Amino acid sequence: MIWEELLTFEDIKKDEYYIKHILWDVDPTKMMEPVIVQDGSNIVCKEPIKGYVFYIETSGKKPQLFLMRHKSNCFGETIAKVDEIPSELIQEALQENKDKIKFGICPINESIKIWLKKELGLL
């Protein structure tokens, strides 16, 4: 399914399915790496990632927080945008993870995780 309109953070808050399936410790840049790699003379298939991952998109006019759905068939799509997050938290994560940004995607940091978990009623 291609999302015609992004969900809001309020939409995510209201649906326990999304909240239950957030992958808090997955680096979104890892999802762009090959799933089949050669390790010496062995071919290694990585475990598929399935769930929801927050990330910061840096390629637009201003960095923004989004939620991506990633399926076990290695297909990912952005499904929601989080406008409510304080910009200071995004800037802090960008500074902290500046060496991890790939293809305009930056992982979130611990401060953003804590903010999100509080907002989602997980803390």
Q: What angle do CA 35, 82, 96 make, to 5 degrees?
A: 65
List, for residues 66-112, the tens digit of each pLDDT value.
Answer: 999 987 666 778 999 999 999 999 999 999 999 999 989 999 999 99
In whole angstroms, give the CA distance from residue 122 to residue 50.
20
Name the percent of the chain lying above pLDDT 90: 64
Query: C-alpha dihedral over 97, 103, 104, 107, to 10 degrees?
Result: -40
Statement: residue 18 has pLDDT above 80: yes
Instruction: Convert the pLDDT of each residue in 20-33 to its tens digit.
Output: 999 999 888 877 77
Q: What is the pLDDT of residue 97?
A: 95
Continuous H helices in the chain: 9-14, 16-20, 87-96, 110-119
